[in-house]
Amino acid sequence: MNKERSLEEILHSCAVLRCVASLQHRTLHQFDWFISACIWGKDGSYGEKGTEVYRIYSDRTSFRLDSDDRVLVKWAELFEEYCITEYGDDAKICPHCASLHK
């Protein structure tokens, strides 16, 4: 049985993947950028990377209009997928962040 992960658990995983686990505010900033790029990045206002994020992920964000209490978790899961693609898997985590991994 798969346990649903919390927003905190998912974003912590993203911080570890990004190798900024001790500076988690950086992950929150990028999470905000990712959501904005998914919604409004089509016109290039979030740079080339934002346009690429929009192209890859925007068609999978229809949940943003849902009224359930898991919308932020769904965003975080999509962001985690982005982080895995962008930064690699657990094998590439630096030793410091690996020690912080739960």
Backbone angles phi, psi at 93, to 5 degrees: -70, 135
Joined together, the tokens standing for residue 70 give 């898991």
Return the pLDDT at 36: 95
Kindly state the helix (H) or strand (E) to which residue 9 belongs, with its residue range: helix 7-17
Number of alpha carbons in the 13 Å side-chain half-sphere of residue 78: 25
Location of structure tokens 């991994």: 101
CB within 8 Å of 26: residues ≥ 6 apart: 15, 18, 20
Return the pLDDT at 99: 67
**How far apart are alpha carbons 6 and 96 in whole angstroms?**
23
Return the pLDDT at 88: 78
Joined together, the tokens standing for residue 3 give 């346990």
Q: Where are the domains of the chain?
A: 7-100
> Is residue 95 within 8 Å of 75, Cβ to Cβ?
no
> Is residue 61 within 8 Å of 79, Cβ to Cβ?
no
Residues of the chain with pLDDT under 50: 1
Return the pLDDT at 85: 93
